[in-house]
Structure 1
Amino acid sequence: MKVVQSAVYAIALVVGIHAAIKVDPECVGIRDRSIFRHQTDCSRYYSCRGGRFEGHQCLAGLYWDQTYRICRAPATVNCNQGPFVTVTTAKPILPTVPPIRTTTVGSIDIESNPNLSNYKCPNTGVSTVPHKNSCSKYVICFDGTPVEQNCAPGLHFDVLSGQCTFPVFARCSIQGQICPMWNNHREIIFIADKFDCAKYYYCYNGEPHANSCAQGLHWDPLNNWCTPAEESRCTNFTPYKAINESLLTPKNVPCADKSAHWVEHPRNCRYYYLCYQGQSTQKRCDVGLLWDSNTGSCNFQEAVDCKNDM
């Protein structure tokens, strides 16, 4: 009798759970957070999140790329490739949030921003670090002051080159802490924080748990222990370095003043400079991208009006 009652209770519980969760017809049997292209409109796509089927709209002039799951320039997208979903009910189209443009004239506003206080920049020099919440943003440190910058629409920040590029090259990962599902008491997994040298995580029950070293110490990711800051191998912030192009001239340009600002190359649209404290640093966009002074970022060739020789 008790077995029958237990079975009845279990069935009632399952039925109750399913009744409480409303799932749109298009999302039945579909994995949560799946994304599909629109069958006929290249600028639209759909998603299933928590059982809700929602429509989305790319920014004007961009197409949805099902392969990379981002909105990109039309010339780089085969919009008829990838799975699509048949819409059975009318759903509102949610416009993609437009990126914040940092500058249109090349200037960079260096001032203390309380929203960036969790970025502990080096006190001297110019360096870069990925943004903690967005692959399409990054932070430049100017002598200890963090300044937020934005990539052009459809591009991600690459920590190795210190600039914006195609997402496939940037390999951005906001959630970098990946823990195994099962615990191994003989081999505890530690993970260094991507933005704070004094912070680290240990894995337990498949989840990362935050911890910090004592004041003045940094986490050493090779030895998995806290060590004096000067002895640690922490490289959260990447020094902003010039590229080595022996044949390209000019390697430097005169800076108008000691302020921070971008300068386009006078002869080649793939190259640009960052001016700061009266010194210029030459950089180069990846193949297929050109420097765009309007966005202060490398951008798709189709979006840039280049009048110089390539």
Structure 2
Amino acid sequence: MKSFVCVLIVSALCLSANGQESFKCPDDFGFYPHTRSCDKYWKCDNNAAELKTCGNGLAFDASDPKFLTENCDYIHNVDCGDRSELEPPISTTHCERLYGIFPDDAKCDVFWNCWNGEASRYQCSPGLAYDREARVCMWADQVPECKNEEVAGGFTCPAAGEVSNSGSFSRHAHPDDCRKYYICLEGQAREYGCPIGTVFKIGDSDGTGNCEDPEDVPGCEDYYGDLDLKSIRKSELLAGLQSSGSGRSTPVTGKKAPRPAPASRNAPESAN
């Protein structure tokens, strides 16, 4: 009886293995998805089938209706459908799998692009954070994983009625960086940066200000140090970057002069 049970078990394993590993090529040449595994596929050459496995963290893209494309892509980019099985994760530092894009465990504005287990660090622009679901950088206050102290560097918007600027929209200088500033929208702070070659100038009224030339902002004249601002502005103008005014360009600083002391912020220059 015992030997009979063993025969049945071995037979079942063989049938399972044959069903998993055997494949009849529909054509002489092509690449075909596995019936159950999203990271496996069949390569047919001269009507001979070979089972292939994508890199750990990649999945086979079966969207080519002619089955002539051999393409393994990030799992989140592939519609696996009923092909739900995946190889077990192989992790390295900052990488849940050998291939993929993964959030940082400590900082919500940092993410890692992993390729064959090697992680490259990326950081979102000021005021943004990496959204794990959408896998893009979004406003930090819209990313649930961000702690309060990480959103806009911990800056807190003034309470309603505390600033003379009426309405729900106001601008506020960064305490340490002349180029950066905060926008408060309905009590929610978002960090911005002025276009390269300019710094934030506080306006006459509380909660106002604009990006201006450093020489027009007391205390921030030497922010860019010895950089050739005329060449920088010309390059940005030719590239069409200045037209946006969004301030999300790559930070370029010289000596990085700190924001002038609060007493100097009330200088009578208009910047409405």
Same fold (TM over 0.5): no
The structure with the greater share of residues assigned to strand is 1
TM-score by length of 1: 0.22
Higher RCO structure, 1 or 2 (CA under 8 Å, sep 6+):
1
The structure with the greater share of residues assigned to helix is 2
TM-score by length of 2: 0.24
Larger radius of gyration: 2
